[in-house]
Amino acid sequence: MTSQDKPTNLTFTNIKSRSAEISWINPENTGDGVLTGFWIIIKKENSSILNIITKKVKKYKSDNLSPYTTYEISVAAGNKNGFSEGKTTSFTTSEDGPEGPPLNVTVIADSSSLLSVTWEPPKKDKRNGIIVSYTVCISHEESKPCFREYATKNKMIVIDNLFASTKYYVRVLASTKVGRGSYSESKGKFTNGNQPEVSTNGTAYTLTFSLEIPSRNFTHFYVVALELKDGQESQSPASYRNNELVTYTEAEKSTDPKPYIAAILTSKDENMFILGDGGNTSNPTSRRRRSTSSDYYNGPLEPGTSYSIFQRIFIHNKGEYYSTDWSPASKTNEYSGGPRVLTKISSGDIKAKEGELVNLLCSAQGELPITFTWEKDQQPLESLVKIKQPHRSSFLVVTVKDQTSFGKYICLIRDRFKCTTTHTISIQKLKDT
């Protein structure tokens, strides 16, 4: 490095989004040699993007820059002996319209008249400035002009006043204060169909709904049911993926209510559907017949419990579908029954002697599954379930050991709705004759 001074008054003029002009004043002290040129280094994020030596000039134009980007520039004066220390400063190019579209555009059908759209900003290196607004375009076909446009500063919007069971295409672009960017790819989405009607008839185990039969052609549709807990707000039917819809058995085993496929239907002719009728249906588009264990079981409902349903309509074998809105909540009747002891089959009071084996039979009918437990003097006893259909029975084998074996044996019977009843059998001591 020579003893000459650095250039002075390093100045930027005509700064644009992709270029800038740099000028300076030659150093007065050129050391022990004549000024021969300048060494210019431009850095972006500490990486050199330009490293050149010029002739004896007083300005330089740098092209191929990126919009809205800060650059560091160093200019050193040179003579025959080398270069001075560089004069360093920085500048920021002006903004431009975004080069990339918004990312992760997601469209969800909130109802039969609403679509919600969310997205993320363009890639950082494609924004070219500060994003000040977004434009959301909605059209009837993928590449057709927008019939509606919405401007927003947010990264989401709800589109309303749409038609039910209709496919719309949505795309989004970002804008800086300088200009607009390019649109994202169009995302097609159906609004929900109109909701099935509220149940008009029901029992403790079933609800009857009037289905919404599609006007367009379809291959089949699911009837999806959900048990409603107090105060529960169900998410939009369209937000459930197909693999989130479980079977009746899986829903029963789950600690939290899950939407389950109660039936798969193909006919336009019958619009009344009984939820909980115990029927089985299978997917008509499966390549091979599903096994009975894999069929969709429309199992009985819980008494005094609210349910709602929606339909998922498949338009063709390619898997495109849309869903209806949830039906209004409908409640099954309260359960007024309970397990019933079959007294003609069950054991009555028995007399026995010490040392004998006594078989006690407790038999009942009711809503399956029925469970039996035995106890004596509030202590549980081991039993054997013997007969399952059409009623259930439980055997208790008692070894009459001593005086403590005599007394009341209580059979506690519980049905699937946790309703209980009891049957009491006394073993009395048979007196010696």
98 domain residue, yes or no:
no
The confidence band for 425, taking pLDDT boundaries of 50, 70 and 90, is very high
What is the pLDDT, as a whole number, of residue 52?
Answer: 94
- For the chain, percent of residues with pLDDT exceeding 90: 65
Model pTM? 0.68
The tokens for 326 are 């949830």
Highest mean pLDDT among 33-37, 165-169, 288-292, 427-431: 165-169
Boundary (domain end) residue, out of 92, 120, 148: 92
Domain of 316?
A: 197-332
- 317, 222: one domain: yes
Whether the per-residue pLDDT at 254 is higher than 80: the answer is: yes
Where does a domain end: 190, 212, 242?
Answer: 190
pLDDT for residue 387: 63
Alpha carbon distance 343, 270 (integer Å): 44
Q: In the predicted model, is pLDDT for residue 309 greater than 90?
A: yes
Q: How many CB atoms lie within 10 A of CB 59?
A: 11
d(CA 101, CA 73): 31
Q: Please count the structural domains in the chain.
A: 4
Q: What is the pLDDT of residue 60?
A: 93
Instruction: Report the distance separating Cα 209 and Cα 199, nearest Å.
Output: 5
My answer on whether 76 and 13 are in the same domain is yes
Amino acid at position 199, single letter: S
Is 84 in the same domain as 108? no
Compute the distance between CA of residue 210 and CA of residue 187 in angstroms, rounded to an integer: 32
Residue 292 has pLDDT above 60, yes or no: no
Residues 134 and 74 in one domain: no
Please tell me the distance from the alpha carbon of residue 180 to that of residue 101, in angstroms, as a whole number. Answer: 10
- Cα–Cα dist 24/11, whole Å: 6
CA nearest 197: which of 211, 184, 187, 216?
211
Q: Using one digit for the tens of pLDDT, what is the confidence trace for 136-176?
A: 999 999 888 999 999 999 999 999 999 999 999 999 999 99
Separation between Cα atoms, residue 161 and residue 358, nearest integer Å: 75
2 within domain boundaries: no
Band of residue 290 on the pLDDT scale cut at 50, 70, 90: very low
pLDDT at 335: 80
Contact 389, 418 (CB under 8 A): no
Q: What percent of the chain has pLDDT over 70?
A: 94
Domain-located, residue 40: yes
In this prediction, residue 313 carries a pLDDT of 93
Number of residues in the chain: 433
Residues 203 and 321 in one domain: yes
Considering the domain boundaries, does residue 395 fall inside one?
A: yes
Say if residue 214 is in the same domain as residue 265: yes
Q: Which of 7, 43, 45, 41 is nearest to 23 (CA)?
A: 7
Q: State whether 45 and 172 are in the same domain.
A: no
Give the residue among 273, 420, 424 at the shortest CA–CA distance from 346: 424
Mark which of 271, 298, 332 sits at the end of a domain: 332
pLDDT single digits (tens) 324-347: 999 999 999 888 778 889 999 999
Q: Residue 173 domain-assigned?
A: yes
Q: Do the beta carbons of residue 68 and residue 128 sit within 8 Å?
A: yes
For residue 406, give both structure tokens: 């005599």
The whole-number pLDDT of residue 433 equals 64
17 domain-assigned: yes
Looking at residue 117, which CATH number applies to its domain? 2.60.40.10
Residue 248's SS3 state is helix
Going by pLDDT thresholds of 50, 70 and 90, the confidence category of residue 94 is very high
Residues 345 and 328 in one domain: no
Model pLDDT for residues 27-77, shown as the tens digit of each residue:
988 887 789 999 999 999 999 999 999 988 889 999 999 999 999 999 999
Looking at the fold, whether 202 and 328 belong to one and the same domain comes out as yes
| Domain co-membership, 166 together with 108 | yes
Residues 327 and 201 in one domain: yes
Among the ranges given (9-13, 18-22, 391-395), the one the predictor scored with the smallest mean pLDDT = 391-395
Q: Could you report the per-residue pLDDT of 175-213, keeping only the tens digit for each? A: 999 999 999 999 999 999 999 987 777 888 899 999 988
Mean pLDDT of the chain: 89
Residues 210 and 285 in one domain: yes
Q: What distance in Å separates the CA atoms of residue 422 and residue 338, rounded to the nearest whole number?
A: 11
On whether residue 107 sits in a domain, the answer given is yes
* 97 domain-assigned: no
